[in-house]
Structure formats: C-alpha cells, structure tokens
Amino acid sequence: MNAKLRPDPTFYASAKIAMNAPVENFAFTAMLSPDGSQSDGIAVVDLRTDSDTFGEIVHTVMTPNKGDEFHHFGWNACSSSLSPLTGHAFLERRYLVVPGIRSSRIYIFDVKEPLKAKIHKTIEPEELFEKTGYSRPHTIHCGPEGIYVSTLGGGGQDGTDGPPGIFIMDCESFEIIGRYEMDRGKQDKHYDFWWNLPQDYMVSSEWGLPPQFENGVVPEDLLSNKYGHSIHFWDLRARKNVHTMDFGENYQMALEIRPAHDPTKTYGFCGVVVDTTNLQGAIFTWWRDDDGNWQSKKVITIDPRPEDPENLPELLKGFSAVPPLVTDIDLSLDDKYLYVACWGLGEMHQYDVTDPLNPRLNGKVELGGIAKGTKHPNGKPCVFGPQMVEISRDGKRVYWTNSLYSTWDDQFYPDEEGGQMVMARVGDDGSFSLDKDFYIDFPKGLRAHQIRLEGGDCSTDSFCYPSV
C-alpha cells in the first residue's frame, strides 16, 4: 500500500502553487539504443546546484531487454490526485511508467530514491495485447480512475488490426484495466492526449499508423497527406469523441497537445510537424467558443530554410530546403511561454502566448540542425536538433534532448550519432539563452528522448484548481 497520511508534497492544487514550490533536484531522461544492440534505460541527472555532480548522470537503470525503444513516459501520480472528485490524494509520486514503443513492453521504475532508482515491475507485451487489443504504448497521464496511456498501434503484427487508442492502468497495482473509449467517432490514429479535468474534456492527436513510422517516415505517404491531420475532442468522463477537428490534410502530423494549465481557461495548442504545401511548421490554437463549439486557428508558422541539395539528406534533396519540423512543444506553468522545437532547422523558439491567438516570437536558441550543425556555446557538437523539451516548474530552466525516433533520426541526420541534453535559462525579463556549463553527453551508442523532472514538470501535472 502506498497510502500516506498527508498528500504527497509534490501535489499542487494549482499551477501557480507549483511554480512557487521548491525547484527540481533531479531529472530522469529516457535513453534508447537506436539499433537495439544495447538495453534502453533511464538516466538520473543531478540538478542540485550545490552538488559536485551537478549536470552529470549520477545513476542509470538499464532494462534486462533489448529493442524496447523508450520514447515518452510519465508519473504514476501527479497533482491531479488533489482532484476534489476522486480522492486519491494519498498516492505517492514515486513511480515512472515507461513504455517501449517498439516492443510494447511497459516498465514501472521506482524512483523514490533517485540515486537508487530501480525497476519495480514489468508488463509484458502479451498482457497489453490481450487486455486492450492495442500496441505501442506512448503518452502517460494520471487522471480519473487511474493512469491513462495512449497507444500508437492496434492489434496484429504491424499494429493495423483495429484503431489505436487509450487504455487505463490501475495507479496502485499497475494492472491494465482495459480500453478507455466508449465511442471513438472518427478517431483511427493516435499520438498525444491531454485534458482539462474540472471542465471534463480531453483532446487527442494523430501521428500515423505503425507501418508509417516504424521503419522511417514513408515519403509517399507524407506527400499524399496520409499521416494524421486531425485532433479529437472528447467528453472525458463519458469517454465519447464529441468533435473531430480536421486542420486540413496538408497539415501532416498533428502531434503534441498542450492545454493551458489553469483549468479556468478553455484553450490550448497543437504542433504540426510539416505543411506539405510549403514545408512550413505550424502551431494551432484550439479553444471552445461561447456557444460551446470547438474552434481552431493557425497562429504560428515557421518557414523552411533554402539549402543546397548537396548538403541535404536523400529525403530532402528534391526540396532544396530544410523544413523546420516542429516535433515537440511545451507550455510554461503560467501559460505565458510556449517553447517550440524545430528539429530540422536546429532551433528552439520561445513564443509569448499571453494572447493565445496572437503569439509573439520572444526568443530563439540555435543548436544542431540539418546542414547546419550549430555547436553548443561550450564548443562541443550537438547532434540532430532540439527535440523533447521540458520546462522547470518555475519556468526558469528549459531542458531538451535531441533524438526524435531512431529510424527518423537516421533519415534526416544520416551521418550523425549520439545524444545530448542541454539547458537554457530564462531570465525574469524573458531572455532565453543556453547555459554554457550544462551539457550532458550520453553514453556511447545511446540516444536521449523525453525528460521528466523530479516533483513534476510542465507536461505531466494536471491541476484541478485555478491559478488565483
């Protein structure tokens, strides 16, 4: 039993309280072996500023298997446990739920003592297939009834037997309970999801089906607009898709969903990897209007950079340009800054989204990039481009890593190998620049993906009370 007498001190009633809470002491970063020759694992990074090992990997937990391909992961419990409705306030934020998107195996890591983190439980793929008919588990959020996990594949060998969806896990025993959906409507692909718990809605997004990503991006599918380009709005507790919003088929790969953290707000953002008509990256703002209807508007476009085909990977030679490739976005807890990873260009953009319909580019950091390879201020190289981004609760530190997905890394950056984690600092005036001294080079043969911060971060916790 994980029951405590008092709520976990890392559960915060509102985003504002979380911002003023003590800062993070550790980061947990997913490491993956791109060719499956080594085991994947979690790196524990020391972020205690007074520590001799600040900014170093101080512990690693590797799995006993190979070929899992770690990608996204999340907590067993977050601030949503303070929901007045569900009364799960006495859980502990202690376990990381880490799925392998290639193997469909799910690991539960016990990180109560970060320096002694260990694997607590392993759920074999067969159990997932049998209980849900889904495969390739991905995004984790803790919510009503337990832990919600999105999947990228349905049943069968190639994951195309039936649509992918979300399943629910018990937040204490980690037993897989079953499918979430009661009426999925038009939803037939999946990627990310998030919600507004008090307002009782969920938003989900689409990447593509497993044959469209597992062996690399399929150029014919991309150019014929066959990747996902819709997001879905759900009645969360009725488990019903109430509206499917199609951005337009040229907006290929609508990935990350970032709702405003303050639950009184009824808007959020979604990043689109590439507009196939002009190679732009795009951010859409979605919101519910006064009549209760869901709306959306393209609020940010990022232009491609012209480039000599000679310098470009095979995939891009025909375009003579580097597409921005917006692969991840993250919103600070005060709903003020949206960070947009342009993995192709090699840039991390910082937008002021105080007015969500009129974002303003406030800052930019260049690092890596196709046919560019901007070096870190410390003079060392960073492979690929800025990718998985995570913001500290107080909004003053922005961390990121650089791998997108093993086979895609190899297509867009065929000559590069490795993995780095870096940090940028955000000043009180909003200034945004890389910290020269924070640079983590991952062990040889491993790449780095999602980062989770001890005690919660800007893409895990769901708050049930307004920021007043």
Partner 1 sequence: MFDVSSVTALWWAVIISGLYHGINPGMGWPLAVSAALMARKHSALPKAIAMLGVGHFLAMLGILLPFSMMVFLIEKEVELRVIAGTLVTCMGIYLLINRRHPKILSRIHPARLALWSFLAAMAHGAGLMLVPIYLELCQFEGGQGSVMAEGHTAAQALMDSSVYTAFLVAAVHTGAMTLAGTLLAVAIYLWLGLKFISRTWFNLDIVWAISLIVVGAFGIFSAIGGAHVLR
Q: Which is nearer to partner 1, 94 or 397 (CB)?
A: 94
Assess 417 for contact with partner 1 (CB under 8 A). Answer: no
Assess 88 for contact with partner 1 (CB under 8 A). Answer: yes
52-60, 81-89, 202-210, 382-390 -> range binding partner 1 (CB under 8 A)? 81-89
What's the CA gap between 96 and 72, in Å, rounded? Answer: 11
Buried b (16+ CB within 10 A) or exposed e, 94-112: bbbbbbbbbbbbbbbbbbe
Least distance in Å: CB of 108 to partner 1? 18
- Report how many helices (DSSP H) and strands (DSSP E) the chain contains, helices first: 5, 30
Assess 115 for contact with partner 1 (CB under 8 A). Answer: no
Written as six digits, the tokens of 382 are 């960073």
- According to CB under 8 A, which residues from 230 to 259 bind partner 1? 237-238
**Greatest CA span in the chain, whole angstroms?**
64
- Applying CB under 8 A, which of residues 110, 127, 145, 416 lies at the interface with partner 1? 145
- The DSSP line for 259-288 is E-SSTT--EEEEEEEEETTT--EEEEEEEE
Q: By CB under 8 A, how many residues form the interface with partner 1? A: 36
66-74, 143-151, 296-304, 341-349 -> range binding partner 1 (CB under 8 A)? 143-151
What's the CA gap between 195 and 431, in Å, rounded? Answer: 30
Assess 36 for contact with partner 1 (CB under 8 A). Answer: no
- According to CB under 8 A, which residues from 255 to 274 bind partner 1? 263-264
Q: Which is nearer to partner 1, 162 or 198 (CB)?
A: 198
Q: In the stretch 295-334, what mask flags binding to partner 1 with x, by CB under 8 A?
A: ----------------------------------------
What's the CA gap between 105 and 73, in Å, rounded? Answer: 12
Q: Which is nearer to partner 1, 149 or 370 (CB)?
A: 149
Q: Which is nearer to partner 1, 87 or 306 (CB)?
A: 87
> Is the CA virtual torsion 366, 452, 427, 381 positive or negative?
negative
Q: Which is nearer to partner 1, 51 or 173 (CB)?
A: 173
Assess 444 for contact with partner 1 (CB under 8 A). Answer: no
**Cα distances (Å, whole numbers) of residue 446 to 29, 39, 129, 140, 141:** 12, 9, 28, 23, 26
Cβ atoms of residues 168 and 178 within 8 Å:
yes
Buried b (16+ CB within 10 A) or exposed e, 210-235: bebbbebbbeebbeeebbbbbbbbbe
Assess 82 for contact with partner 1 (CB under 8 A). Answer: yes
Q: Which is nearer to partner 1, 185 or 466 (CB)?
A: 466
- Applying CB under 8 A, which of residues 84, 156, 427, 430 lies at the interface with partner 1? 84
Q: Which residues make beta-bridge pairs with 106?
A: 99, 123
Assess 11 for contact with partner 1 (CB under 8 A). Answer: yes
**Binding residues for partner 1, per CB under 8 A?**
1, 3-7, 9, 11-14, 17, 82, 84-90, 144-146, 172, 197-200, 237-238, 263-264, 464-466, 468
